[in-house]
Chain A
Amino acid sequence: MEPVLQVRGLHAAYRRTKVLDHVTFDVMPGTLTAIIGPNGAGKSTLLKTMLDLHPRLGGEVRFFGTAYRNAKLKVGYVPQRGSVDWDFPTDALDVVLMGLYGRIGWFRRPGRRHRELALEALDKMGMADFAKRQISELSGGQQQRVFLARALVQDADLYLLDEPLAGVDAATERAIMEMLRTLRAAGKTVMVVHHDLQTVEDDFDHVLMLNRTVIAHGPTTEIFTQDTIARTYGGWLRRKERVTG
């Protein structure tokens, strides 16, 4: 089977600080991968650099065997919830429709079919009743579900999600994990920037452990060990242990 995503020797920096150093990995179709690592490990930057949203200083990224610009419609990206202005004058349905803008084309208006698709996606996230709700009136968890509905409506083959579970309520977390498992069952590939080490073993079949470079990558059962966790979080975890315990 061909990998859906190949990353070779990826380098990236913010100003003069190197954030990604020779990052190399392959992702196989139908996998659900958690990207974990301490703050500043370059998790979000990895997603952004792969998607050409952040300058790449070196290396190669191939989606479905080709450059990102040729595979855009097959990739669904969910930025961090905090990256947008939720006071923007628009409603939940409209935000989901934005996921279709790549397909609708420049000058056409979204039609009834697009609206139906968007409503369907909201329904899958349990948000159908909030379609016409102004987005600032939604709770954090509801906003995150709208973001995921927007990714769903893109009907991509590979999903890249940046911290979708950060600061959401338990019901939203269950709804999101359920959605991710459904996607995997449908043969889609999902990568999630994740922060909760407790749930990695139960929720993700693969894990990419990142600290500027790849510390370990593979099936969770094989590589998610005390040793790799310690190497990923390094002194950071030990310092934290001293403080908390």
Chain B
Amino acid sequence: MSYDGWILLTASLVGLVCGLVGALLILRRMAMMADAISHSVLLGIVIAYLVTRELSGAHMLLGAAAAGLLTAVLVQWLHARGVQQEASIGIVFTTLFAIGVVLIATQVGNAHLDVQHALMGEITFIPWETTRVPGLGEIPESVLTLLIVLLVVGGLIAAFYKAWKITSFDPALAAALGIPVAFMHYLFMTMISVTAVAAFDAVGAVMVIAMLITPAAAAYLWTDRLSVMLLLSGLFGVLAAFAGYAAAWVLDTSISGSMAFATGVLFLISFLISPRHGLAARRLRAHAAAGRLKS
């Protein structure tokens, strides 16, 4: 595949996997947690690097999963002791992120890992860092990681579909029915963590938040069914990847930045014209209702 082909594939996979996880994230009202985890996984990556001295996919995924879970547990721990939810999120992730930054500056300090890269990603390097996969040949390591994460995350969403639905909609009933609500919560936090780290190389910690939240928020405006929202959200993520790539090519600017911008444009369009919740539709309905009142 061509250099541009790999970049488009990487970006599309990021959009797809972030869109899927993002849909549940929005419905569980945890957008702030995504913000937190996408930053604190940096610490997990740095520690994984310090322990193994290499930046391979598997180690980074494990480190990120651990850091994400640690974030979720610490936030819960502080919250249970009287600290406001949002305050505890803010305290935990900035602290973990700061430790990660300090470790990079003092312990790692080489070309493979720097703060700029962590925040913004560098998708243009991805096609060069390849690995050999039996049956697929030489493919970029990031693409392999993203494929694995997509399979795992997509599989978990499909397998536990009913449990995700009920624990998101009515956790009290879910718990009363014997569905392990806390386990599902931490499983979801782990899914966000591995998604964030898989997308990390491509788009970085800041842009991954846009990829997680915005396509899902747009999809939410188009449908009244959870399954459709999940698919639409993934599709919007892929669309944003293509549109962002095209925009970056035309404007000769950052690919990840353009992708995040494209998600924003998609959301704005949805916000204006989606049939049920869109601004235009609401105006029309209000107008029609006013007409009925007059006649």
Contacts and interface: CB of A to CB of B under 8 A. Distances in A.
Interface in B134-179: 159-163, 165-166, 168-170, 172-179
Given A84-B169, A90-B224, A104 B162 contact: yes
Nearest to B227: A89
A113 interface: no
Given A89-B224, A89-B226, A51 B176 contact: yes
A229 interface: no
B178 A69 contact: yes
Interface string B27-65: 101000000000000000000000000000000000000
Given A69-B178, A98-B165, A98-B166, A89 B225 contact: yes
A112 interface: no
B253 to A, nearest CB: 35
Contact of B225 (A90, A107, A110): A90
A77 interface: yes
Interface residues on B, range: 20 to 34
A36 B163 CA distance: 33
B267 interface: no
B220 interface: yes
B271 to A, nearest CB: 15
Contacts of B160: 106
B136 to A, nearest CB: 30
A52 to B, nearest CB: 8
A83 B172 contact: yes
Interface string B206-239: 0000000000000010011110110000000000
A99 B166 CA distance: 9
A144 to B, nearest CB: 14
Contacts of B224: 89-91, 134
Contacts of A52: 175
Nearest to B175: A53
A241 interface: no
Contacts of B162: 98, 101, 104, 106, 109-110
Please classify the interface of chain B as helix (H, G, I), strand (E, B), loop, or mixed, using the class held by over half of its residues.
helix
Contacts of A53: 172, 175-176
B169 A95 contact: yes
Contacts of B179: 101-102
Given A15-B82, A101-B166, A134-B224, A89 B27 contact: yes
Interface string A1-26: 00000000000000100000000000
A48 B165 CA distance: 21
A98 B173 CA distance: 9
Contact of A79 (B29, B165, B172): B172
Given A89-B224, A107-B159, A134-B224, A79 B169 contact: no
A88 B26 CA distance: 10
A84 B226 CA distance: 16
A77 B172 CA distance: 9
A238 interface: no
B177 A89 contact: no
B177 A101 contact: yes
A83 B170 CA distance: 8
B177 A72 contact: yes
B226 A90 contact: yes
A120 to B, nearest CB: 20
A198 to B, nearest CB: 28
Interface string B250-261: 000000000000
Contacts of A109: 161-162
A77 B169 contact: no
B170 A98 contact: yes
A105 to B, nearest CB: 9
A88 B168 contact: yes
B173 A88 contact: no
A14 B160 CA distance: 32
12 contacts: A72-B176, A85-B27, A89-B224, A90-B226, A91-B224, A95-B169, A101-B166, A101-B177, A102-B178, A102-B179, A110-B162, A134-B224
Q: Which 6 A-B pairs have the closest CB atoms?
A: A102-B177, A134-B224, A77-B176, A79-B172, A84-B170, A88-B169
Interface of A: 15, 48, 51-53, 69, 72, 75, 77, 79, 83-85, 88-91, 94-95, 98-99, 101-102, 104, 106-107, 109-110, 134, 150
Given A91-B224, A134-B224, 10 more contacts: A48-B172, A51-B176, A53-B172, A53-B176, A83-B172, A88-B168, A89-B27, A89-B224, A98-B173, A101-B177
